[in-house]
Amino acid sequence: MFSLLTLNLHTYQQHPRHNCFETMHLHEREVHIIAEAVAQQGIDAICFQEVGEYRHDPIAQPYGEAPSNMAFRICRRLREWGHWLHIHQDWSHIGFQRWREGTAILSRYPLRHNYSAYVSHNCSKDHYMSRNVTVSCIDLPRFGLLHIANVHLSWAHHGFHQEYANLKRLIASRYHFGVRGGLIVGDFNAPAGEQAYQHIVGNGEYIDQYHELHPQRFYEPTFRGQIDGWRHSPPRRIDYIFKRSGHPLRVREMAPIFNGEFYPSVSDHFGYLARFELF
């Protein structure tokens, strides 16, 4: 079995304060809860979106190993507990005026062919609509390379279709590595059943793993309340794991994880924990 967590971390907005260092300190709760869930559940790989890093921290090489980086804080906590994780990150733009905001892939298993690229028309670090995606191949024992694309895409009316087309071209350019399976994971800002969602699944190339396992829960929201980009709409399902059709893995379990029932809330998104059979 292979387990995967996807979660939008909300860019340090659970406890926003005027003082950024106080903000980071208050998010120690979220760091601990997420790390504890990863350790207790034996999670193999993680895709984080809206990973915050203080904009005035020096940019580390490789990117993300700054003390303020939320994904690296979680990774470091797990390493302290004896759970070694590999990590690959990049950032898209400045969010909430003070944070570098990006995506991160973490894995118990080696990450091969790490890469990141802009899929949006706008590639400016200063524009909130610029979208950079992280991609990697997880080298799984007795399986081979599982390609992961970790994304945070725009709304249908703000560039989704161009971004998704660019994403597919990027993924296609990487299959010469000898990939055996492929997943696209993250926050798509594409409500279940609506036009952008149908654009992904309509031709059968990618399969919505939550819908495959829980067809009766098709519209079950992945966030609560009014969040950025959806302030005038009821909660929707906008976070997904899509599997490339025909690839040799099958979802066996998938459920919201940080919803106050399984683990406490750590973000405005619930996140998903999925387990796959590999064959």
Structure tokens at 142: 């007795």
Fold observed for domain 2-278: Deoxyribonuclease I; Chain A (3.60.10)
Distances (CA, A) of 120 to 7, 92, 124, 155, 190: 21, 10, 10, 12, 16
Neighbours of 277 (CB within 10 A): 12
- The separation between CA 116 and the C-alpha centre of its own chain, rounded to angstroms, equals 13
Packing angle, helices 28-41 and 70-80, rounded to 10: 50
Burial 151-177 (b: 16+ CB within 10 A, else e): bbbbbbeebbeebbebbbebbeebeee
pLDDT for 104 equals 99
Classify residue 26 as exposed, middle or buried by CB count within 10 Å of its CB (0-12, 13-18, 19+).
middle
Residue 149: partners with Cβ closer than 8 Å, 6 or more residues away: 133, 134, 135, 167, 170, 171, 182, 183, 184, 185, 186
pLDDT for 224 equals 80
pLDDT 10s digit of each residue in the chain, 279 long?
999 999 999 999 999 999 989 999 999 999 999 999 999 999 999 999 999 999 999 999 999 999 999 999 999 999 999 999 999 999 999 999 999 999 999 999 999 999 999 999 999 999 999 999 999 999 999 999 999 999 999 999 999 999 999 999 999 999 888 999 999 999 999 999 999 999 999 999 999 999 999 999 999 999 887 666 666 678 889 999 999 999 999 999 999 999 999 999 999 999 999 999 999
Alpha helices, DSSP H, located in 66-206: 70-80, 160-172, 195-201
Q: pTM for this one?
A: 0.96
User: Can you give the C-alpha Rg of the chain in angstroms?
Assistant: 17
